[in-house]
Amino acid sequence: DLGTCRRSKMSNSIPNWECVCSFQRARDLALAYDNCAAYRNVCLSMNCINGYFISSKIGNLCRCKCNSGYSGPTCAQWTGIWSPWSQWDRCRPECGNANGNRRSISLRSCINKRVLGNATPHDFCVGEAQRWTNCDPAACWLGGDQPVSKSFRLRGHFLLSSATLACVLAAVSVGATFLFCRYRGYNIGPRPPFESVYQQG
């Protein structure tokens, strides 16, 4: 919609016409006659309180790009900003990776008006307050001077690395005879003969 033309006062008995431009249009001063050929920069009629304007190439569309911690059509609403991410915590659990969930966590805090004591129900930070990363598997120290890996095998069946080092060493000495071990309430054995015993890593 360019606008409308309306009749103005007579000049030397000749009627004059003038253009009433729409909101997005303006007069092109390069033309000698009245017109609505130019686009109006709608950003001039807006106010970005805590941000800056982004307009289309022809200036007929405009929006506010808010600074960090603000939102809304005019960037007037404080939403809070994130603190820097913390350092990655140590991997948990300390060793082993039987379930594939050995991870480290990093945290950050939302700095908003709640901290200043004058929050509104709409103050919030967009995003997550914690992030995770997977850790490499780590051998468990189960006694003695060497860590024992999780590769205990008994006739093709792998035993968990929760077996104590004493239990594994007993398996070495017993060989193909009957063996029964317990660790944290879990039974390991009796399943002779042993095909391979343990690995140190």
Tell me the per-residue pLDDT of 85-130, one tens digit each, with 9 for 90 and over.
Answer: 999 998 887 776 556 578 889 998 887 655 555 554 445 777 888 9
Q: Using one digit for the tens of pLDDT, what is the confidence trace for 39-52? A: 776 676 678 888 88
Residue 50 tokens, joined? 């805590």
Distance in angstroms (rounded) separating the CA atoms of residues 40 and 2: 11
Q: Are residues 151 and 199 in the same domain?
A: yes
Question: What's the token pair of residue 61?
Answer: 């569309």
Asked if 159 and 143 sit in the same domain, the reply is yes
pLDDT at position 88, please?
A: 92
**Residue 33: which domain range?**
3-40
As a whole number of angstroms, the distance between CA 38 and CA 26 comes to 5
Looking at the fold, whether 53 and 9 belong to one and the same domain comes out as: no
What is the model's pLDDT at position 79? 79
Q: What is the pLDDT of residue 52?
A: 86
pLDDT at 174: 41
The pLDDT of residue 22: 73
> Which of 99, 120, 138 corresponds to the end of one domain?
138
Tell me what pLDDT residue 123 has: 53
* Claim to verify: residue 55 and residue 29 sit in the same structural domain: no
Same domain for 170 and 183, yes or no, is: yes
Residue 118: the pLDDT is: 55
Stretches in the chain below the pLDDT threshold 50: 120-122, 143-166, 168-201
Selection from 147, 172, 176 nearest residue 161 by Cα: 147
Are both 48 and 93 inside the same structural domain?
no
Are 133 and 145 within one domain? no
Q: Are 149 and 176 part of one and the same domain? A: yes
Q: How far apart, in whole angstroms, are the C-alpha atoms of residue 101 and residue 92?
A: 8
Do residues 201 and 145 share a domain? yes
Structure tokens at 63: 């929006």
Boundary (domain end) residue, out of 57, 78, 99? 78
Last residue of a domain, one of 28, 54, 78: 78
Please tell me whether the peptide bond between 73 and the residue prior to it is cis, using omega within 30 degrees of 0. Answer: no
How far apart CA 70 and CA 123 sit, in angstroms, is 10
Task: Indicate whether 171 and 148 sit together in one domain.
Answer: yes
Q: Measure CA of the first residue to CA of the last residue in the chain; give whole Å.
A: 77
- The CA distance from 189 to 26, in Å, is 89
Calpha distance 86→107 (Å, rounded): 5
- Residue position matching structure tokens 């303006």: 26
- 101 shares its domain with 130: yes
- Indicate whether 128 and 100 sit together in one domain: yes
* Count of the separate structural domains present in the chain: 4
Return the pLDDT at 37: 77
